[in-house]
Amino acid sequence: MESPARRLRARQVFSAESGQNVELKGWVATKSSMGGLIFAVIRDGTGYVQVSAKKGVTPPDSMLAIQTATKESAVVVRGVVREDARAPGGREVSVRDFRIVSLAEPWPITKTAAASPSYLYDVRHLSIRSRKVGAAMKVRSEVVAACFDYFRERGFTLISAPTFVQAAVEGGSTLFGVDYFGKKVNLSQSAQFYEEAALASLEKVWVYQPAFRAEKSRTPKHLTEFWMVEAEQAFAGQPDNMKLQEELLAFIVKRVVENRGEELKILDRAIAVPSVPFDRVSYDEVRDIAAKEGMAFEWGEDVTTEAERLVSLAHQGPFFITDYPLSARSFYHMTYPDRPKVTMSADLIAPGGFGELATGGQRIADLALLIERIKSQDLPAEAFGWYLDLRKYGMPEHSGFGMGVERVTRWLAGLKHIRGASLFPRTMTRVSP
């Protein structure tokens, strides 16, 4: 008597013993026939495996079912694992039983239709079934999982912060207002202020949550809703903060390279684990480099996209741009005692022109200094009431950063546009599906 079929997922077939009876559940990715043979490639959440049906081996009702099955139909297949050098991966399942669970209508994403990226995002609810999207999402999942492990190992507590907020952490121009029972509140741009409050209780905290920015620019690195990993530590200055970031990023890359090699291959991406410490290039140095290439910008302006790109292309691995002018930073940044216009802050930049991955810095801990800063920038002090209050009850030197999950995923997966790093991206022109 035949042994009962063992339920396997696609990837497990490649390590299953030849001759084993198995059951697969998945979707029909492709189908073809040759002579009296019908081949189907079945996809599930782990990968792809070929199954083949043959008259005389496969019962007639199953022959009919595999013939009838359309692309993307959901199916359950039983059969015997066979070694076959011609099959992708050297293994296939010889079909003994083929059932259609849900027959798919003709698949709308034809080769011609697929040539239009905007169409692919119009039908993102369907196009996410592609090999490359699946691979990018697995890289992203690994990035997030690595963050959980990293912070846990270092004694950081995961907290959560509200999404409905009043204060603008990163300036008023990118705030999304929402009606909150007749009152205008905003969607959170960053959990930083809540992390600063949590410090005095938990000392080292981090968050993984969505952030919202009304970005009116259409660039390959801006979403209106994205996920951010943010961390904040008490009794820690900017050098500690940069160390925390570079070790995190090196840890993430190592995990992706170790665990997502298959996916990187699908994405046609090779990435090297960076060694720490990362290079540190000061804002002033970036200005000099840019000026030599005819891309000069005024001291005090933010580093221009083209200058950042120039320096990024000259780097093999991630690096920091340090010491930004206060005029290019948010009000809460601490400045050097001997250089009051220069902040203790840095951007973590990816090589190869992928741009900024994280921003961090040391915060103002002193109440009088923070009030003075808010006044000098003409900000509404009343909007920062509780944030100021924190400075009255034991606020030590502290620092932190925020890292965009889609930015890191885009870099690691080598994606042209950041929207590919999100399952259902939100941009200025897209809120559906």
Residue of 402, 409, 411, 415 that binds ligand 4AD (CB under 6 A): 402
Q: Which does 97 bind (CB under 5 to 8 A by kind): ligand 4AD, Mg ion, none?
A: none
- Beta strand ranges found along 84-160 (DSSP E): 91-102, 157-158
Q: How many helices (H) and strands (E) does the chain have?
A: 14, 19
Q: What are phi and psi of 313, to 5 degrees?
A: -65, -25
Between 12 and 166, CB nearer to ligand 4AD: 166
Compute how many other C-beta atoms are within 10 angstroms of the C-beta atom of residue 422: 21
Q: Which does 50 bind (CB under 5 to 8 A by kind): Mg ion, ligand 4AD, none?
A: none
DSSP assignment of 177-201 equals EEEETTEEEEE-S-SHHHHHHHHHH
Between 13 and 211, CB nearer to ligand 4AD: 211
Enumerate residues 175-194 that contact ligand 4AD by CB under 6 A. Answer: 189-190, 192
Each residue of 105-128: b (16+ CB within 10 Å) or e?
eeeebeeeeeeeeeebbeebeebb
Number of residues that bind Mg ion (CB under 5 A): 1
> Mask of contacts with ligand 4AD, 118-157, x by CB under 6 A?
----------------------------------------
In this chain, which stretch among 62-70, 147-155, 237-245, 358-366 interacts with Mg ion, using CB under 5 A? 358-366
Residue of 400, 409, 412, 425 that binds ligand 4AD (CB under 6 A): 400
CA distance 255 to 264: 12
CB 24 within 8 A of CB 49: yes
Structure tokens at 271: 């990435």
359 lines the binding site for Mg ion (CB under 5 A): yes
Q: Which does 343 bind (CB under 5 to 8 A by kind): Mg ion, ligand 4AD, none?
A: none
317 lines the binding site for ligand 4AD (CB under 6 A): no
| Residue 104 CB, nearest approach to ligand 4AD (Å) | 34
357 lines the binding site for ligand 4AD (CB under 6 A): yes
DSSP assignment of 356-380 equals EEEEEEEBP--HHHHHHHHHHTT--
CA distance 34 to 54: 10
Q: What residues make contact with ligand 4AD under the rule CB under 6 A? A: 169-170, 189-190, 192, 213, 215, 222-223, 226, 228, 230, 356-360, 400-404, 406-407, 418
